[in-house]
Amino acid sequence: MKTFKVAVTGTHSTGKTTFAEALKETLDAQGYNTVCVSDLGEECRDRGFNILYDHTPQSTLWIMTEGIRREMEAALTANVIIVDRPVPDALGYYRAALSYRDEASPETWASYLSSLAGHHAATYDLIFNSRLDPSIPLGTNKPRDPDGKFRRLADEAVADVLVDLGIDHLSLTVDNTAAAVQLVLDQVRTHIGRSK
């Protein structure tokens, strides 16, 4: 089965999930079997790992590998997989946490996590990066960390990961969401064919 993977990355409360939901709704309406692999941060924390500004190499690796596992499972049945917080996102959050704490990553971990993020990013057909707009307040649809400093660091670090690893990506903003949904739909039709 042909599968098309779309990844949406960026700091928290920048419209990623709203975009992913709108995209899924559009693709489902066109008859595609679409699965979302969603943010794993809360689940990671609930399993005992540190997240956000306390991110560790271990929590980063757990999020990466659990996300990869879920993507692989979704590919067994889905035409389209939408990944809300793909593998490079976890590396960005880890880097932001290190910056927040003014620490350096052990070189072995830095190399390993960067390699994994870079190699796995090649499996995504499209990657969108949703950047922080400071004029838009934090969403209230779920509990969110209100630390503005960390949110800014995460925004910068996720964007830097994409550049540092040479990962092709498109910018996602409030103003281009509809065009981004149409772009994905057009590329899905080209890659998979029309569903209806």
pLDDT digit string, tens, across residues 31-43: 999 999 998 999 9
CB of 84 closer than 8 Å to CB of 39:
yes
Is residue 130 pLDDT above 70, yes or no? Answer: yes
pLDDT digit string, tens, across residues 70-120: 999 999 999 999 999 999 999 999 999 999 999 999 999 999 999 999 999
- Predicted structure pTM score: 0.93
Residue 195 pLDDT level (bands cut at 50, 70, 90): confident
Q: Record the tokens describing residue 73, joined without a space.
A: 């499972």
What are the boundaries of each domain within the chain? 4-192
The predicted structure's pLDDT at residue 31: 95
Whose structure tokens read 């779309």? 6
What topology is assigned to 4-192 in CATH?
Rossmann fold (3.40.50)
Phi then psi dihedrals of residue 82, to 5 deg: -105, 120
Instruction: Kindly write down the DSSP assignment for every residue of 48-108, as one continuous string.
Output: T---GGG--HHHHHHHHHHHHHHHHHHTTT-SEEEEES-HHHHHHHHHHHHHHHT----HH
- Measure the CA–CA gap between 35 and 23, rounded to whole angstroms: 11
The predicted structure's pLDDT at residue 2: 87
The predicted structure's pLDDT at residue 196: 60
Mean pLDDT of the 152-160 span? 96
The predicted structure's pLDDT at residue 143: 57
For a pLDDT cut of 70, what percent of the chain falls above it?
Answer: 95
Residue 133 pLDDT level (bands cut at 50, 70, 90): confident
